[in-house]
Every structure is written in structure tokens, then in C-alpha cells.
Homo-oligomer: A and B are copies of this chain.
């Protein structure tokens, strides 16, 4: 039986991890996007690549999250979304998200970010209007959820870089895969 340590608060969690300067992170991410735009030419390809990078990162970050947060198994997608918004965003980016716009089935919701460290100092030139600059974030969410057996589609529906009033990421649960244990308990 796992120890009954209560989950940490978002602030305590963020304080417990190693951190680097947000501006360094922002500029480093900007350097990736610029590099991809130079290399790939098609904005749509850049969007895909950023999403894929995020996915790979998300599949790794979920381990650190589970190890440090003391969060135990979430009962459903709704609880999972709350944990990501309050603890996940805080632990990695130092900000929290609001969960909103649930559909009737409880399988789609939005994360709304008022503060997004990824985009400080960023302006999209006219030639990049189709760019989904924050696709790495939606990829991270998709990758992390897949590691806890939830297959999702994640898309941006509002983006301040495109003139919207907030960042809103739509997360739709496609399939919840029952976890298969590779070993029997009595092995």
C-alpha cells in the first residue's frame, strides 16, 4: 500500500523543484521556433514539429510530476484536468491554469492561461500568421496524459499572439486505455 502522504500544494511543489530563469527558457524556446521556421519553410510543418517535441517532453515530465507531487490515481478525467491545471502548470511553468467550458459528457474541457511564460517578448511577423507558437505546450499535455492511459486531442482555440484575449487550450478525451500490468501481483 502506498504511503498516505497528502498531495503537495502547487506553490510547495514549484518550490521543491530545481528551477532556471524564465527569460532564458523563453528565449531558448524562441530559438527553437526560429530554427524550425528556417529549416522547414512550411508553417504547418513547424506546428507539427513543435507538437511532437512537446509530446516527447510530456512523456518524460510526467514521471517527475508523479514522483514529486504525491498525487495518487485520479478517479476520472475531471479530476485529472484539475490536477494538471493547479499542480502541473504550476510545477513546470510557475503559473496556474483555469479549467472551464466542460461539455455535457465530461470528456472535453479547456485550460485557460492568463499568464504564459512561453510568449514573453514574442510578436508574430505577418509571414507567420498560421504559426501555433505554443504547440509545444499542447504536445506536453497530450504526451503526459498518454502516459497515464488517456488518449487525447489537444488544440488551441484562443491565442493572444493572434489577437485573442487569453490562451485557451481545448483537451478532448478520445479513449481511456485500461492500464495493463506487466506482472501479476504474486510474481
Interface residues of A (CB under 8 A from B): 14, 17-25, 27-29, 31-32, 35-36, 39, 49, 53, 56-57, 60-61, 64, 91-94, 117, 121, 136
Contacts and interface: CB of A to CB of B under 8 A. Distances in A.
Copies of this chain present: 2
Contacts of A121: 60
A49 B36 CA distance: 13
A94 B92 CA distance: 15
A57 B27 contact: yes
A49 B39 CA distance: 12
Given A35-B49, A36-B35, A53-B35, A61 B19 contact: no
Contacts of A49: 35
A39 to B, nearest CB: 5
A32 B56 CA distance: 12
Contact of A27 (B19, B27, B31, B61): B61
Contact of A24 (B31, B32, B57): B57
Nearest to A24: B92
Nearest to A13: B21
B18 A117 contact: yes
A21 B18 contact: yes
B28 A23 contact: no
Nearest to A93: B20
A25 B18 CA distance: 10
Nearest to A21: B92
Given A23-B60, A28-B28, 10 more contacts: A18-B21, A18-B94, A19-B20, A19-B22, A20-B93, A21-B93, A25-B28, A31-B53, A31-B56, A35-B53
Contacts of A117: 18, 20
A53 to B, nearest CB: 4
